[in-house]
Amino acid sequence: MDKLLVRGGRRLSGELRISGAKNSALPILAATLLSAEPVTLRNVPHLHDVTTMIELLGCLGVEVIVDDEMNVEVLGGSLSGCRAPYEVVKTMRASFTVLGPLLARYGRAEVSLPGGCAIGSRPVDQHLKGLAALGANVVVDDGYVIADDGGGLKGARILMDVTTVGGTQNLMMAAALAQGTTVLENAAREPEIVDLAECLIAMGAHISGQGTDTISIEGVDELHGAQHRIMPDRVETGTYLIAVAATGGNVLIKHARPQTLDAVLIKLSEAGAVIEQGADWVSLSMSRGRPKAVDIRTAPHPGFPTDMQAQFLALNAIAEGTSRVTETIFENRFMHVPEINRLGANIALEGAKTAVIEGVAKLHGAPVMATDLRASFSLVIAGLVAEGETLIDRIYHIDRGYERIEEKLVQLGASVERIRGGRMDA
């Protein structure tokens, strides 16, 4: 099992190019099932989760061609099955987004209940309620969601009880081929929802309101082939900005979309960073030594993203002052706290949803263990500012969501090595 060895104490600086967004690429790969014609996706990140989704498409009989630059062509005309097996879906929650496209195109779907990071129950009831409102017959049997289109999906007005990104994506895709108009109320507003809508529109879908809490989808008879470029990864952008800020450095990040990160950039400014940005770039420099402690509270977009909570908590661990980090989206998302405390941080939990961080001047390297995707990078950030060496185990979590992590960190001046079966790679 791979480990990451981080030698701390170096100030990160330089330029970095951001990869395509994982949280956008995965549902868009699922959306290619809606067309019998080829769909070409560009700027797809080379990640384990993307490989898993491509494997799942293969299980459904779909041919996928990937070139050397990770441009992905999906030949949906070869779709031959409707069963997404447990063996694949259990490893990645986003696999569940094939449910809507399969039901809309194939008329039937058998999809295992999802797995992924252990950060709370994250139920799929809103997905299933919405599909039932479109006329689908849905049952859960032996760990699988089994659904048929009831003779043809029909548009409906769907009010989701809670805002759900995956539910919004599944229902958008199912409604794209439904008869009539579907209106999703209390829909997710995340930029990845907008990116999915733009891809579907390129394929011939009629969608409006994406980026607001009310999305309208006018169903069409079929979707055609298209080309689409995956948006830049806002979580990767924010993660590296936080890492650079924690080390007191400076960075220019290119091929980014900073307007999707307003809440994070505001908090970084409050912590003492100087932020400048353009249409596709953002720069950060620290004008002082230690950052200032900043309170954060996660919320659905455009609030502070839950996927940035762990990273900012790591920055607060070495900040001047006391801060409170409140998690409102997922339960059980403070598993990284005991690991960061192993490095000498002073973090205490108040119940299940709030961490109180008393900033310390120094952290010290120690062996730690990654617990989930975003928490994994919080340990990297803590290791980057710690004195000595930090050895991070179970970094397969990191590889699910961050492309070429050690290469990008070394590019910024970090001392990071991957240990593969006893062998180190820079």
pTM above 0.85, yes or no: yes
Q: Which of 12-16, 54-58, 137-141, 398-402 is the least confident region?
A: 398-402
Residue 59 is a catalytic residue:
no
pLDDT at 425 (0 to 100): 57
Average pLDDT across the chain, whole number: 93
Q: Which amino acid is residue 337, in one-letter code?
A: V
Give pLDDT tens digits for 264-275.
999 999 999 999
Please compute the mean of the pLDDT values over residues 334-349 and round it to a whole number. 96
* 3-class DSSP state of 396: helix
pLDDT at 142 (0 to 100): 87
117: pLDDT confidence band, cut at 50, 70 and 90?
very low
pLDDT at 282 (0 to 100): 98
* 3-class DSSP state of 19: coil
Give pLDDT tens digits for 26-58.
999 999 999 999 999 999 999 999 999 999 999
- pLDDT at residue 120 above 50? no
Cα-based angle 421, 425, 426 (whole degrees, multiple of 5):
155
pLDDT at 397 (0 to 100): 85
* 3-class DSSP state of 144: strand
| Catalytic pick among 59, 82, 117, 199 | 117
What is the percent of the chain where pLDDT is above 90?
84
Give pLDDT tens digits for 187-199.
999 999 999 999 9
CB atoms within 10 A of CB 125: 12
Strands 13-17 and 273-277, sheet pairing: unpaired
CB atoms within 10 A of CB 254: 14
Q: Which of 209-218, 339-348, 391-400 is the least confident region?
A: 391-400
Identify the CA nearest to 18 among candidates 190, 242, 252.
252
Please compute the mean of the pLDDT values over residues 159-181 and round it to a whole number. 96
* 3-class DSSP state of 249: coil
Please compute the mean of the pLDDT values over residues 176-182 and round it to a whole number. 98
pLDDT at 121 (0 to 100): 46
pLDDT at 38 (0 to 100): 98
Please compute the mean of the pLDDT values over residues 420-425 and round it to a whole number. 60
Question: Can you read off the two tokens belonging to residue 297?
Answer: 């509270």
